[in-house]
Amino acid sequence: MCGILAAIGKNNPEQIRVLSKRMTHRGPDENGLVQLKDGSILSHERLSIIDLHTGIQPIPADNNETWMVHNGEIYNHQALRQELNNYPFKTKSDSEIIIALYKSYGYNFCNRLDGIFAFVIVDSDTFMAARDPIGVKPLYYGTDAEGKMYFSSEMKAISDQCIDMKAFPPGYYYTPQTGFVKYFKPEWENAFVAKKKANLNELRDALIKSTKKRLMTDVPLGVLLSGGLDSSLIASITKRLLPKGSELHSFSVGISADAPDLKAAQKVADFIGTKHHNVLFSVEEGIKAIKKIIWHLETYDVTTIRAATPMYFLSKYIKEAGIKVVLSGEGADEVFGGYLYFHNAPSAIEFQKELIQRVQNLSTADCLRADKSTMAHGLEARVPFLDKEFLNTAMQIRPEDKQPDRKSGKAEKYILRAAFDDKENPYLPDDVLWRQKEQFSDGIGYSWIDELKAFCESQITDEEFAKAKDLFPYNTPDTKEAFYFRRLFEEMYPEQHAIRTVKKWIPKWQESKDPSGRASSTHEQSIIRTQKKRKRA
């Protein structure tokens, strides 16, 4: 993992070096920079995970005229190396397989890669850039006033250099000759092809296989463990896959010892046998760090900022503990309809359409949060639920098998829970396996969101808020909390093209537009409040 920066065309190396250093948090181990004959520059801030000694980037091809920078992990690089056994590899790095494939097959090789990636290849008078199918790894691109192109892992490196900048679309590659080409075209992007009846054994095996791939590392590895279903399953699977007797560290975060997530996570850790760490931060610490967190996240989306704050503090602790790679549970709610608002889907086909849209938009939401809040401290997060093969299995299951139904007692993510409901050799305690969905920013302690909202409301006057549409005509904030985040964002990223990279996360099919799970009428706390009101009435 790392931060990459590519400046295409004649450029000043010292200027590019300064821009690249804006992302030094992504790659604290070492850096590299090369200028090619045409003046183009590739820069790389490296977090060493695979091939610690010879994997420094940029990486050249055999003729030293073609160079590449890559951010991500290629899990099938060993198999691809055997396929390209005549290629003169210079390193043991998983990244080098990308430039080897390019030299062997030209542009049409991205579907051969099994992993997560954002890369740029410069080859004499042309270049190629690409991003992984779901957008697990970030990438931005833009042009300056002279028409030169830039590509970067984070927009902070290039936003003020460009007159136009956008997020690079997931599942595409780009060359000057072809423009943007969509290489990732899964059948499941059509809502009407999801007709397979759920096969629980197949689903379980696919997730285990996906998790196993992500154990590839030459550095210490841990697991994020919120105590919810998704991270708990990944932690349990990981523990089983490691050699017997291996120590696995798990990490949870909350604002108090009695936070819902911390209690559930401790139960899981005791059950599966990890060395567990509870990390506490105060609401005051969280509020104080908000501006820095927005700088790292490069978004003003309320949901993302709420959830990224605890993840930011947790990542800092993990990195200081000597862990450089963690497995996490992002993506399961989008793949299986885990958010509570999915209970209100009007039909199976509308449910499926929303699943597809949520998965396609992950690069603007949970993937962005997971990458940037961990990489703020040079920590790599891996997400088994977003494995390409696993998605092919899970996204083709018919929606009626996934759709939750409170009336019949069918919980959200029912088939995922059922797939790992092994009575003889249980993966998780029953009360965790069947625990109701708790969004991360709620589960760390309900007072986090409540007090954050109250603080933001104290910072914005009614007079200021009344001018929201005039001040922010694009993505106009509809709450004082959103207004406060937007104001902080624009202090650091005032360019209109930066503002337009942000997509807001809004739940559907419910009266409240607050993204907190507690705003849903199906949340247990909401049901309890409703029952109390009826009794008083």
Q: Where along the chain do its domains lie?
A: 2-185, 195-530
* Residues labelled catalytic: 2
Give me the sign of the Cα torsion angle 57, 294, 513, 285. Answer: positive
Write the DSSP assignment of 11-39 as a string of letters: --HHHHHHHHGGGGGG--SEEEEEE-TTS
Return the pLDDT at 310. 95
Q: Which of 230, 308, 290, 226 is nearest to 505 (CA)?
A: 308
253: helix, coil or strand?
strand
Q: Which two tokens stand for residue 44?
A: 């790389």
Question: Hey, what CATH class is 195-530 in?
Answer: alpha beta
40: helix, coil or strand?
coil
Do 113 and 140 meet the contact criterion of CB atoms below 8 Å apart? no
Orientation angle between helical segments 480-492 and 447-459, nearest 10 degrees: 70
Alpha-carbon dihedral angle through residues 4, 319, 253, 312, given to the nearest 10 degrees? -30
Using a 10 angstrom Cβ sphere, with 0-12 exposed, 13-18 middle and 19 or more buried, the burial of residue 455 is middle
Look up the pTM and report it: 0.93
Return the pLDDT at 50. 61
Mean pLDDT per block of 10 residues along the chain (537 residues) reads 92 95 89 93 82 76 89 96 93 94 96 98 94 98 97 98 98 98 98 97 98 91 95 98 95 90 94 97 97 98 96 97 96 96 95 98 97 96 98 98 90 96 97 76 77 97 98 97 98 98 90 62 46 44
| Type of residue numbered 427 | Y
Question: Residues 6 or more apart from 525 whose CB is under 8 A from it?
Answer: 446, 518
For residue 350, the tally of other CB atoms under 10 A from its CB is: 15
Distance CA 78, CA 93 (A): 10
| Fold classification of 2-185 (topology level) | Glutamine Phosphoribosylpyrophosphate, subunit 1, domain 1 (3.60.20)
Is there a cis peptide before residue 310, judged by omega within 30 degrees of 0?
A: no
Return the pLDDT at 54. 61
pLDDT in tens, 39-56: 999 999 977 666 555 668
